[in-house]
Chains A and B, each alone.
Chain A
Amino acid sequence: MGNAFQRAKALPLSGKVGLALVIFWLAVALFGPMLAPYPVGAFVAYDVFDAQSAKHWLGSDYLGRDVLSRLLSGARYTVGLAAAAALLASTTGTALALTAAVGGSKVDEPLSRFMDMLISIPSKIFSLVLVAAFGSSLGLLLLIAAFTYVPGNYRIARALAVNLAQMDYVQVARARGEGRFHIAIAEILPNMIHPLLADFGLRFVFIVLLLSGLSFLGLGVQPPDADLGSLVRENISGLGEGALAILAPAVAIATLTVGVNLLIDAIGFSGKGKGR
């Protein structure tokens, strides 16, 4: 634990800002609904698009609901869904990449060609088609987001793993008679964790944007629940007045993605600085 604290202290300023934002949003995702002053769907204000007041810190939305409460509850969908999908995409992509790296060209070639094919499918269109076909649900959104980003992660992880598989210590392990599983997990994987973490952060940001985009089109998380993207969409009519109801979720998306980006850049940098 002290170790993690020391490493956080060693981050450059931008990294510290990123870390603070990430911790803030994780906290909101975890505890937000408990802190929300009003129920998500309750009509509590007399007016729509109210400015902020002591009762409604972020004003009210297009139906007169409390924006702060909706934001605190909605962040959970965005953060949780994106984190789960990024995790799923990264583990699947990396597992396939390791298989390709230790499996030789007979495994590597077809797998890589298949991934090249997947990567050429435009992700938004693909999601639109699936949502149109099956109807939107949290489970489907998770799968779509994960599936879309497997090939990207695979490519990066494979490039890393194939290089590492040529290292002398891997050759030593092979000459010792080690099985492929051991080589992949014990010898190769530990040396790619750093870049993979950075990649995970990047996928997370992409997925936040993809989900927000889908929600904005009305295809994401369905009412009365709302993620940050749907909050922006449903309040679109307040854009002309510059209502807080639309600014707040937009700023939330921005700070979340910028925060994650700053943090991974800083981690990637200090990882390189340590040298190998």
Chain B
Amino acid sequence: MSEAPHVEVKGLTVTARNAAGEIFPIVSGIDFALQRGEVLALIGESGSGKTTIALTLLGHARPGATIAGGSIRVGERDLTKLDRSALAQLRGNRIAYIAQSAASAFNPSRTIMDQVIEPALIHDLMPRAQAETKAVELFRALALPFPDTIGARYPHQLSGGQLQRLMAAMALITDPELVILDEPTTALDVTTQIEVLRAFKAVVLERGATAIYVSHDLAVVAQMADQIVVLSQGRIREAGAAAQILHAPADDYTKTLMAAARPAIRPAPEKIALPAAPLLEIRGLTAGYGKIGKDGRPRIPVLRDINLTIERGATLGVIGESGSGKSTIARVIAGLLPPASGQVLLDGEALPPGLQGRSRDQFRRVQLVFQNADTALNPAHSVGRILARPLAFYHGLKGNAARMRVLELLDLIRLPATLIDRPIGGLSGGQKQRINLARALAADPQLILCDEVTSALDTVVGAAILELMAELRRELGIATMFISHDISTVRAICDDILVLYSGTMVETGPRAAFGVAPFHPYTDLLIGSVPEMRAGWLEESHAGAAPPPIGETGDHPDLCRFQPRCAARVDGLCNTTPPPRRPLAKGSQILCHHGDESLCPL
């Protein structure tokens, strides 16, 4: 330890100018140091200055911001003292940066190989042939499929997780001494995240690169970091060894972060005596996009044979990875997408398939809350106008009565009344999401379809929204369909859960059934991919293990869609015969050839 640290940041301050032209600090008084080969994690909510600090390690500040003070030493060099050309020599060469969204970082019109080896060629480090060989080695180390030929593909032919790994290959091709990873897995599904994390850990750690890992997710960081720095509002709240921060956090803010990361399990409300028909029932639903063909299937089929019920006041969680059709279910119920076949019943009464023919009262009873509050609220309207519209439309409330009700709604969602005349643009993400929710509540609905309402929010803000929703549900008795890709959230707040894979229901059941094995192989993968907040989990987790070899797959349309990724698949059965729907003893129903006895109780 007598050796001088490899990277040392002292008294770093970055300032920016606000609209009125005053200079204010974005981050200030930042100190940390790390030894060669160590990984340091910067953790905090959005706006806490994580990326700002990460960028200074490239000697860069965003437009409008300046590095106003302090020193940033990497190896022998102090980055604050270098000029432009010296910095350009370092970037992408000795210091590499892996950004959050690889999909937007790649140029769609050039092959992967060209882009991956570009840093090596720009800095004249090696001839092209050697760079290509090296790239293929990296592809292999990053566990990419077809490492020898993947370089010839174009970005649109690859998935988000693969692009993220290729981005790492691009960063590592120059053998950098410092790698900066800025939320590299945030945009990915858990099942992809675990693969990417494994690959990162293998390459970054085993090559002994020094790394700075920026994230808002403590559990992810627990897998990678030796040291953790907790940031809030541009200042360091707590810094120390990973084990200490994770197991004995000293700072209150760190404790809040830890609590928010693991939502508390809420007790299910008492079941009341139910009237005959459930509030919402879906029978034999098939839906998709594009024209409906002669065989009754749409051109791009998405949902297949969906059956579900939601009781009055109950919460149904719908979970699955991106593209599995979760939002499509909500769109069908709301009438935005007429189904190809099947029925949606509200209170035992069939709803017209599309928007046409639905009565205003039917519209009122089902409200849709979109995933992204930034786009779900009209930027040209004020908060008051947005909330007043459903009041006027469904309840005929006008003038003062409407204003009183809007104020009541703002109070209900814990926002100050002064927001009423504000335009939407100036609100924070959490505030917008509350308005988004309040607009649905203004209709006085029986069922709210919540599409990933917390996904775009920071954990702490998201936890507050969940808390609010649980409260509203208790007070107002509104049923909810809660769509999410995060199984821990769904397990914490929903009464029943439906797991969707590629448009088919692979497992459904009450929440209790999702706490005990055995699970459907896909549910098992989902649950097993959620990082745990302890070091070493990544190595122990069996999730994402390679599936056993299997013969040719038949062309029956109802074959198990999970089969290509399934670790429990059976040759001669899963690839030839459609799986049956069968009950498990714990109370759930699965779509699989395996049953209680043959699913390994993991």
Contact = CB atoms under 8 A, between A and B. Distances in A.
Interface of A: 167-169, 171-172, 174-178, 186-187, 190-191, 276
Given A177-B363, A187-B378, A191-B378, 7 more contacts: A168-B370, A168-B376, A175-B334, A175-B336, A175-B355, A176-B443, A191-B380
A168 B381 contact: no
Nearest to A193: B380
6 contacts: A169-B378, A172-B439, A175-B334, A177-B358, A190-B381, A191-B379
Nearest to A276: B379
Interface of B: 334-336, 355, 358, 360, 363-364, 367-368, 370, 372, 375-381, 389-390, 393, 425, 439, 443
A168 B390 CA distance: 16
Contacts of A176: 363, 367, 389-390, 393, 443
A169 B336 contact: no
A177 B380 contact: no
Contacts of B379: 191, 276
Nearest to A171: B336
Nearest to B366: A175
Given A175-B335, A176-B390, A177-B358, A190 B380 contact: yes
A6 B418 CA distance: 24
Nearest to A167: B375
Nearest to A175: B334
A168 B327 CA distance: 12
A197 to B, nearest CB: 14
A178 B393 contact: yes
Contacts of A186: 389
Given A177-B355, A177-B358, A178-B393, A172 B380 contact: no
A168 B355 contact: no
Contact of B378 (A174, A177, A190): A190
Given A169-B375, A169-B378, A174 B360 contact: no
B338 to A, nearest CB: 13
B257 to A, nearest CB: 30
A159 B327 CA distance: 26
B374 to A, nearest CB: 9
**Interface residues of A, dominant DSSP:** helix
Contacts of A169: 375-378
Nearest to B390: A176
Contacts of A190: 378, 380-381
Q: Which of A176, A190, A191 has the most CB of B within 10 A?
A: A176
Nearest to A179: B393
Contacts of B335: 175
A172 B368 contact: yes
A140 B12 CA distance: 70
A177 B360 contact: yes
A175 B393 CA distance: 12
B363 A175 contact: yes
B355 A174 contact: yes
A272 B410 CA distance: 31
Contacts of A172: 368, 370, 376, 439
A177 B377 CA distance: 16
A172 B377 CA distance: 9
Q: Which of B367, B378, B443 has the most CB of A within 10 A?
A: B378
B370 A171 contact: yes
A176 B393 CA distance: 9
A92 to B, nearest CB: 22
Given A168-B370, A190-B381, A174 B336 contact: yes
Q: What are the 3 A-B residue pairs with the smallest beta carbon separation, nearest first?
A: A177-B363, A190-B380, A168-B375
A268 to B, nearest CB: 17
Nearest to B385: A186
A96 B376 CA distance: 26
Contacts of B390: 176
Contact of B393 (A171, A177, A191, A276): A177
A241 B336 CA distance: 71
A172 B389 CA distance: 12
A195 to B, nearest CB: 13
Q: Which of A169, A171, A174, A191 has the most CB of B within 10 A?
A: A169
A175 B363 CA distance: 7
B375 A175 contact: no
A178 B336 CA distance: 12
A190 B386 CA distance: 14
A70 to B, nearest CB: 45
Contacts of A168: 370, 372, 375-376
Q: Which of A175, A178, A186 has the most CB of B within 10 A?
A: A175
Nearest to A189: B380
Nearest to A166: B375
A167 B425 CA distance: 16
Nearest to B440: A172
A174 B356 CA distance: 10
Nearest to B363: A177
B16 to A, nearest CB: 16
Q: Which of A168, A171, A172, A186 has the most CB of B within 10 A?
A: A172
A20 to B, nearest CB: 25
Contacts of A187: 378
A83 B67 CA distance: 51
A276 B426 CA distance: 11
Contacts of A171: 336, 368, 370
A276 B378 CA distance: 11
A257 to B, nearest CB: 30
Contacts of B377: 169
A176 B443 CA distance: 9
A275 to B, nearest CB: 9
B333 to A, nearest CB: 9
Q: Which of B364, B375, B379 has the most CB of A within 10 A?
A: B375
A85 B439 CA distance: 41
Nearest to B372: A168
B531 to A, nearest CB: 30
Contacts of B443: 176
A163 to B, nearest CB: 12
A198 B59 CA distance: 40
Contacts of A276: 379, 425
A177 B370 CA distance: 16
Nearest to A187: B378
Contacts of A191: 378-380
A177 B335 CA distance: 9
A178 B381 CA distance: 16
A259 to B, nearest CB: 28
Nearest to B335: A175
Contacts of B372: 168
A191 B424 CA distance: 13
B287 to A, nearest CB: 15
Nearest to B381: A190
B230 to A, nearest CB: 31
A190 B363 CA distance: 25
